[in-house]
Structure 1
Amino acid sequence: MRERMRLYDAEWAPSPRRVRIFLAEKGIDVPREAIDLRQGDQLREPYLKVNPRGQVPALVLEDGEILCESAAICRYLEALHPEPALFGTTPLAIGRIESWTRRIEGDGYAAAVLALRCWRCARAGLRFATGRSPGNGRPCRKSPNWHYGRK
């Protein structure tokens, strides 16, 4: 018997939320496994065996293949279940949807990531190297792993 698809998910993270919204709009039911980002579950075994980058979401397919980016997961699901078409059906609609998707990712998502990353600097009394941090202390020279809560 083949295993069903399984979505590794984090309730409050934006990328898994994007996949959950997509699944809901498509009417697709996929079992979910919660990853607690606050507890650092994404940085420990067994999740690192699923996604060595330690990021969510991850979709494990029936054959064991794993997709780890929200856009890739949504595109895969769209190909499996083309109706309703959420990425457009005409060249113009496809182009418009892709354009708005990139704007949201570039402007909205990137700003949220930077704010969360800089929040850690501000709490430590540091100013993130980009200068966009609310912190007023000395410039931050911490590693990217430190910003993501890794050691």
Structure 2
Amino acid sequence: MVVLFLAYGLFGNLVPGALQSRPHIPVGTRSVSAIDANGILGTALKVAVIVVVPYMLFGQFFSRCGAADFFNDIALAGMGRFRGGPAKVAITESGIFGPISGSAVGNVVGTGVVTIPMMKRAGFPSIYAGAIEAVATMGGQLGQSMPMINAG
């Protein structure tokens, strides 16, 4: 796939019809795809700097201040006594924290640092615990997108 897209970048001007692109020289294609801010590394670094790093810091701050334990205690009080409790705690905690964080990445970082180790201690395989947290996090974002109902 990479070779196909690189070939299209170099020879896209020879493709007939709507898929035809402007001609590029090899040096220009290399600099745009690798070095430019819109290239491969530029997009990945932009996402890492703007989204991942701040939410990792937010999650650590949240965890160190004890707020993650607060959400964990609420979820454990409601779901801890049932079978599969740690997984249900992860789902409940992500549902509570998701609308607050506003981001799936922030939700994983904020709740995953607590729930994934808890699930692993309960005997869940690492891959399964990570998958539960990922799905719970995406479900937690649904609470943010739900329209508010005006009771008055």
Q: TM-score with structure 1 length normalisation?
A: 0.26
Q: Which has the higher strand share?
A: 1
* Max Rg structure: 2
Q: Which has the higher helix share?
A: 2
> Could you say which structure has the greater relative contact order, defined with CA pairs below 8 angstroms and 6 or more residues apart?
2
